Amino acid sequence: MGNSPSKKLKQPFQKHLKDTNVLEKNSTTSTIAVLKKHNPSMSISNNNTEMNMSSFTALHRTTSLPPSPTSTLPQSIKNDYIFHGRKYQSYNTKYILPNDEIEQDRLVQVHFIYKFLFGGNFSSPVRDLLSLKQLKRNSASSSSNAQQWDLQPLPQPKVLDIACGTGTWILEMATEFPETQFYGIDIAPIYPTTIKPSNTFFSQHDILNGLPFPNEYFDYIHMRHVYTCFSEEDWTTVMNEIKRLLKPGGYIELRELYPLLYQMGPITHDFFKHFICGMKNLHNVDIAWAKKMFTVLQEIGEFADIHRQIRQLYFDLPGTIGNMARNSLRTACESYRPFFEQVNNIPNDEYDKILDAMAQEIIQHHSFFDYYACWGRKTLCATEYHHQDVVESMLHATRRYSVVPSTKSASSSSQSRKRTHSDTMVSPNEKPSVLSIITIDPENHEETKGSVIQWDEDTI
- Write the DSSP string, 345-366: T--HHHHHHHHHHHHHHHHHTT
Are 113 and 328 spatial neighbours (Cβ–Cβ below 8 Å)?
yes
Domain ranges of the chain: 13-380, 382-460
Cα–Cα distance between 53 and 316 in angstroms, integer? Answer: 40
Element of type H or E holding 246? strand 246-262
Mapping DSSP to helix (H, G, I), strand (E, B) and coil, where does residue 253 land? strand
Residue (of 376, 379, 425) closest to 399 by Cα position: 425
Cβ partners under 8 Å of residue 289, min gap 6 = 226, 227, 230, 235, 256
> What is the reported pTM?
0.67
Q: What is the pLDDT of residue 417?
A: 32
Predicted local distance difference test score (pLDDT) of residue 244: 97
The pLDDT assigned to 419 comes to: 34
* 210 φψ region: left (φ > 0), alpha (ψ -120 to 50), beta (else): left
pLDDT of residue 372: 98
How would you classify the pairing of strands 303-314 and 86-89?
unpaired
Res 431: pLDDT: 33
Q: Which portions of the chain are predicted below pLDDT 70?
A: 1-79, 83, 89-93, 133-153, 382-460
CB 226 within 8 A of CB 292: no
pLDDT tens-digit readout, 167-201: 999 999 999 999 999 999 998 888 988 889 999 99
**pLDDT for position 96:** 77
Angle in degrees, CA 40, 44, 45, rounded to 5? 155
Instruction: Report the pLDDT value the prediction gives residue 23, as an integer from 0 to 100.
Output: 42
Which whole-number Å values give the CA distances from 156 to 47, 131, 146, 402, in the listed order?
39, 10, 21, 43
The fold of the 13-380 domain, in CATH, is Rossmann fold (3.40.50)
The pLDDT of residue 385 is 53
pLDDT in tens, 133-171: 644 444 444 555 555 545 456 789 999 999 999 999 999
